[in-house]
Amino acid sequence: PLAGFDYYTGGWDYRNTHYWASLGFSAAPLFIIATIWFVLVGFSFCIAFLCCCCCCCCRAQQQKPLGYSQAAHRVALVFLTIFTIAAICGCVVLYVNQANFSNAIAYVLEFFLKKGLSIFDNLMSVMTALSSAADNTMEQF
């Protein structure tokens, strides 16, 4: 956008102002859509809340029994609380062990890289030996 709407070809240089302008320009439609969606959903919830709390027809429906006992509501609330706590604990465990997992992956990759380089070096030494043996036999004839 800053260079006459030419394509940005500078890579991921976060110090370049053209990079940030290109990033903002390409993300602007999505941010606009998200903002419109957020405003519309919020406005819809406000209208629904005002309709249910202020209208007389909704108040009459609120006084009718829902058909579920208080015990069923309590059990549902207990299960909701337990599953929410379990989800929070799972997120904490994943967050804490992410560094250990990353270190383990880095160790495995380093191990495979060293083994691959070792195999490459062995193959190169065999190829060098075969090449020198071929050169020696050619010189003898």
How far apart, in whole angstroms, are the C-alpha atoms of residue 48 and residue 37?
16
pLDDT tens for each residue of 16-47: 888 888 877 888 888 889 889 889 988 888 88
Going by the DSSP 8-state scheme, the letter that residue 45 receives in this structure is H
Lowest model confidence (mean pLDDT) among 64-78, 91-105, 110-124: 64-78
Radius of gyration over every alpha carbon of the chain, rounded to an integer in angstroms: 34
Going by the DSSP 8-state scheme, the letter that residue 8 receives in this structure is P
The predicted structure's pLDDT at residue 60: 53
Q: Does the model's pTM come out above 0.85?
A: no
Take residue 129 and report the two structure tokens written for it. 């030996």
pLDDT reading at 138 higher than 70: no
pLDDT reading at 8 higher than 90: no
